[in-house]
């Protein structure tokens, strides 16, 4: 019976992944991600239901558009597959089964999936554009606020640290808004700081610090690797490092591993 639940979660994950690919492509361009139908970015042909089946459409069409035969970037398939795998891993990490389901665990799973979804979109956009969409930051704050209300009203949890984090986020948002009015763009450092505070709220101080350490190590290793690989071409270190990309990936991994330690002890 549990295998059926995990299959269902995987299908939900790849469906979310299909939406992630759309959001990663459209949001930096300022395009609508909800009302406007999906279309091929090459020929602009509106896609049908059969063209949008997560994973399966890519396989059936052999990675090409049905209409213009233009090759579809593999990242769409990879992102859909990864989202399905991560959704399953998150469910397994909290030991979500038919036998031990509870209200608090189901709520944590739903909020966790919504949280991870935000990190997926942020990492996808940051990897391509080295920027963090303020809409996704706002979305994560709303998700966290709803969860805080739930913890306070139904779980009688202490929300003192959450309230402090929300106040800090509000201050950072105001500073970012002032900066935006002067420079006509958001401050990447402030956006990263807001993301870190959100991570601290959903996970913990320790996991957030570990995520930052892993991020710094990954960036250092990548730059060393490319410097050695492109030594003859006088490779220069990147001026814009997608810090949020590495941070989101590190936080998802540490969250899943920590859940395993907590729920299986």
Could you report the per-residue pLDDT of 87-138, keeping only the tens digit for each? 999 999 999 988 888 888 999 999 999 999 999 999 999 998 899 999 999 9
Q: Name the residue among 31, 76, 82 with its Cα closest to residue 51.
A: 76
Q: How many CA atoms lie within 13 A of 91 on its CB side?
A: 24
Euclidean distance between CA atoms 121 and 21, whole angstroms: 8
Which of 138-147, 154-163, 205-214 is predicted least confidently?
154-163
User: Is pLDDT at 236 greater than 70 in this prediction?
Assistant: no
Q: To the nearest whole number, what is the mean pLDDT of the chain?
A: 88
Give the mean pLDDT of 60-67.
Answer: 80
Q: What is the DSSP letter of 34?
A: S
- Integer angstrom CA distances of residue 144 from 147, 166, 190, 262: 5, 9, 19, 21
Euclidean distance between CA atoms 83 and 85, whole angstroms: 5
Give just the sign of the alpha carbon dihedral 198, 203, 204, 208.
Answer: negative
pTM score: 0.90
Convert the pLDDT of each residue in 66-86 to its tens digit: 788 788 888 888 999 999 999
- Say if CB 133 and CB 125 are below 8 A apart: yes
Q: Which pLDDT belongs to residue 45?
A: 74
Euclidean distance between CA atoms 6 and 92, whole angstroms: 8
Place of tokens 């509106």: 46
Q: Which pLDDT belongs to residue 46?
A: 79
Question: In the chain, pLDDT over 90 holds for what percent of residues?
Answer: 51
User: Is pLDDT at 237 greater than 70 in this prediction?
Assistant: no
Query: How far does the chain reach from its first CA to its final CA, in angstroms?
Result: 23
User: Is pLDDT at 235 greater than 60 in this prediction?
Assistant: no
Q: Which pLDDT belongs to residue 211?
A: 96
């Amino acid at each position: 019976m549990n295998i059926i639940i995990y299959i269902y979660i995987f299908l939900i994950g790849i469906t979310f992944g299909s939406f992630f690919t759309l959001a990663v492509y459209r949001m930096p361009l300022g395009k609508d991600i909800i009302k406007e139908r999906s279309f091929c970015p090459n020929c602009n042909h509106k896609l049908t239901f059969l063209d949008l089946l997560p994973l399966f459409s890519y396989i059936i069409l052999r990675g090409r558009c049905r209409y213009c035969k233009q090759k579809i970037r593999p990242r769409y398939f990879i992102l859909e597959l990864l989202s399905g795998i991560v959704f399953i891993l998150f469910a397994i990490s909290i030991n979500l089964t038919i036998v031990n389901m509870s209200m608090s665990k189901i709520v944590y799973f739903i909020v966790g999936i919504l949280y991870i979804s935000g990190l997926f979109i942020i990492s996808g956009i940051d990897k391509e554009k080295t920027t963090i969409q303020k809409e996704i930051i706002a979305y994560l704050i709303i998700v966290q606020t709803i969860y805080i209300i739930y913890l306070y009203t139904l779980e009688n949890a202490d929300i003192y640290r959450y309230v402090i984090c929300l106040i800090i986020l509000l201050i950072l948002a105001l500073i970012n808004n002032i900066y935006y009015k002067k420079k006509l763009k958001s401050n990447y450092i402030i956006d990263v700081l807001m993301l870190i505070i959100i991570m601290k709220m959903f996970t913990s101080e320790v996991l957030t610090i570990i995520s930052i350490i892993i991020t710094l190590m990954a960036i250092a290793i990548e730059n060393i690797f490319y410097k050695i690989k492109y030594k003859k071409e006088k490779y220069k270190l990147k001026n814009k490092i997608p810090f949020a990309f590495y941070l989101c990936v590190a936080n998802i991994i540490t969250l899943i591993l920590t859940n395993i330690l907590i729920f299986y002890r």
